[in-house]
Structure 1
């Protein structure tokens, strides 16, 4: 952020009573420091606010938790008090020396008054049942499961009660009921003594669910959920209600009974503490929110400015990255012709650094010395505005090492944001490699044309035979006539004149035949018969321009497939290129028929099987040309390679015959086969040469 931006922000700070912020701004010269301070201040205020609210909430929550723990402790105390009263009531029942009938009446009265008691038993010292009473308020608790199956718990409890001479409680156990449900119960055993002598036991079966419901639910279950749990957290009985959607507070207290320990758990749901429990917290919160709001507004304004600066920096960096990654050289000049900018591609092209080029005037260091005057005149014309804009022209540049290379220069006026021309912007493309490839292509085409002459020799054979037969027949006739005239020893001068005329005719006809032969010789003598090692890719690339030219004319798609890492082949390059060209042309012409909807020509090179007739050091490379034309009929297939046999109205029938001859001269084999569902594929093989044989 600049100093001007700071000056614009100062009134805003004063208007919001934040004059102290100005001193901090002045102390930090960079935008990064301001952002860091803002972030730290916002974080501090938010931390204070959150801490205050959190502490207030924690305080109120601790109050609620303490209240619940007090209720739990009171509930445990009430429960112990009630159980102690039960023990006293049972001791009163034992001290009255009742009869069995009276005992039953008293026991039923206790069961009606205490619903948590499910069954009272009177047992002798051997724990044999003398009398029992079940609660009349529900079905007998041991109706489904006989009492004998659970008597072991009562026996152990009574033994502990006998040793302690007081009431003892058993562990809780589960009893299934006739309604398909069940309940958790526990036994309490109270020894009955007279004069210090044990005369029996009173056993009471408690229902844990009823114990909570009757003794604790009324006083503590309105806002809490009360439950008995085992030490591992397993719930044995539960009572009370819970309001959903509120916060849960939990308190636990041990109910330490003689012989057994239960855990009383109380879950209380309370509303969340108020956000602002007191006025001070609300005031601090309001001031903090106001301060944060001011800082947020300031941060947004600074963020907008920083975003604009970052966007501009990113745009400049992106443009610089694009210019640096271009392979095309870029050169900017002012209206006087002075270089103001060059990209790395241009520097690499001429072998000079940007510092060596920037600010240079004509003559430029990359101009060849012999062309300086010409380039000065051309630059003067362009700077004067007489050259058409964006029109490319070719030139020659010189690298720092003195080598020359051809370039294509496309230059256009450099327009500023105000719409004024400030110079010239040029794109420089190195076309030396392109020119070299064009020269190679031209030479390759010349070789193909020479090979095509050889192919046309066969087509000219019939014409040559006719042309040569006439002079040769005339020569023979004149010679025979001359011999017959010379046999007569009495030849007259007239006869001698006839002989002289015949000899002149013979010379004329011989000269005519010689001209015909020389014309054919001149047609074919331009090529070399030497063989060389050639990559299959190079053979297919050499014929690609001619094949693609005819393919575009006939609307044929050409696909080239070359197996990776193919060895080179030993061949007469020109002749093999002519074979591939002839097969490709035949394939495209075969698809130029009515009814051919899809026209695809496939040129392929791959490894082939070994030919046992040749040296085992050589492998084989197979070339194939596939088309989807109308195919070859059986009547044509038998005569396809016969010289002078053709299905074309303008053909001579020597193309495929010549192709097979060329392939066989290289030791390979040319054949064909139909494709499914339609079309034909021609295949021929050429010997491959190992790399060490080539280098040797």
Structure 2
């Protein structure tokens, strides 16, 4: 007997609404749910059968499409063949018309050529020579031609016979095709009118008449005729030649398809009056595809029947397994969720069970471990005896309750440490059936413990081995928190030595005098600021040790939270003695430095004098050679002697500058004209460049300001760079057209100041990338015969004038095409203030003199 539910005083909480089909499904009994679940495979089979039918239909439509494309392609090919044949006959008739119009042939020759054409090309039925008044001057017809095509000479054509093509050819002066003409469609003739001109006037036509049937038989390829039903039809669709199938005989790939396999295209150059049409022959229906469809249908029906039988059998098995599966899954879930490895042994020591965690630890699968006896595969070979003794104790119940440590070998050969705990395995009847062992991986905790121990030992060993005294003590206390071996050797184990070092270094903070805290006089001090501050250093002399010590102090928070001060005292007595000895050696080093400078300048003199002396030698050799050959005039001799004298004077000036350079580090600057310096350098360097067949080009900007420089040194830098450029070109082996040097001088803006830049650009092989950083080093050279001081000296000269020097390679794509050495000198030089007595010249040079 059911009772009516009483209304509640409080409204029940609203439950979330579910989808209607979910509620409907939950209300169904399991048997009904199984029946509905069976519909899934049945629907899948029906969908599969539908997909097969759609696929077969699609494939048949695709086959129809391919066949239609083949018909279209073949008809287009046949039309091209027929078009080419018509154009060839047209060209032959046009050539014949030109010969007739030019009066190159007479009637007999015309008939001879026409007869040859008709006999060679069967589609030509007749060819006639018609004058401007439609009179037939000459004609020839094929023996097989109809009677009306055999026109006698001196007869006149009617306007209806030409269908207006004669008038069109006369008006348009180009070949004109007529429509197919004839009383019977099968005997239709195609007419071609080719106009003739005589001195620009229309003089008649050459009329060719084609058999439409002959065009089909001789113009269409045989393979096309064998494959399709081909015909030539007019614009009304009337068949003129060939044959077409009736609608009932046209190929249809599907019973409901009305689309025949056919294609038509107008015959060019005739036009729409003649159309080529082809149809595919009838073939057998796709019996294989239909049979395949019915086989698939039968197999699908058999599959449905088997699914129904399998469903009934599965229902009975599922009901019997549900209880067992739920219980097994619960127990398996508990075992798999454990991180501890579990292993069960029977009383004889055979493995009967392992959980996934145990397999994961050892790397062996459950199937490889269950049933194995000792020695187990996870035992290391060197521990077999020990582990066998442990197993014997385990089987005899002699294992300790706290467990024991063992080494376990994984399948990949690696070994880890584990702790095992053993307990008896009791069955539901209370009988012992074996032993249960749990295993935990302790490799990481053991490693951390060993690392901490090793770290402490290393820390102690390092501090004990230091040659510095290290001590740590609380602030304001004699208690020692730490002292290393060196501290104990110097000051003992008490804290007086620590306090004494702090007092000598002056780094001990002073507590407030008003602080009445007897426990910690430094309470309330900003300890975070002290510990974050850097260390303080001081050098003190300890009379008790008779040593100089470097004392470094730092505040830190000790392990128990107290504020402590660490003191590190290093013995610097040998360093102090070395500093005193170094001070005594300073004066002695001055004399040695002067001797080294003199040695360096001796090499510089030899390098610097080489160029003017070479110029003097070249001038003298040239004068001697020309005097011997009596090819020199007094004026030329006088000019050469003056140049030689100037070079000798220049060599003397170089020696004077080098001597001055020895006495002081700065050059002797004067207000110098840039174009003059460039001209002097080119005059000297050009001698060597001409000998090496190198072309020198200079570009000097106009209105350059005067520079406060030593002109001799700047000229020497330019000469050295030009000489190096010529040697680089000679070493690269460039052809004569590519052996050139370009010298550019102009104003620039560098490092926020106005400068004059000198650039020497050559076409050599450049400087290797690995040598760019070293070419300015003393005695380093990229040439076998080089001394390695030229660029070093050039850079020193430029930097002594507060300038900069640089080098970079020039590229043409990925290939090095040359090198550019450049340096710049500031316009407003600091050397001007060092030479206040120098004054500018009264007037500046003209633009022409500066642009030399």
TM-score range (shorter-chain normalised) is: 0.3 to 0.5
| TM-score after normalising by structure 2 | 0.28
| TM-score after normalising by structure 1 | 0.33
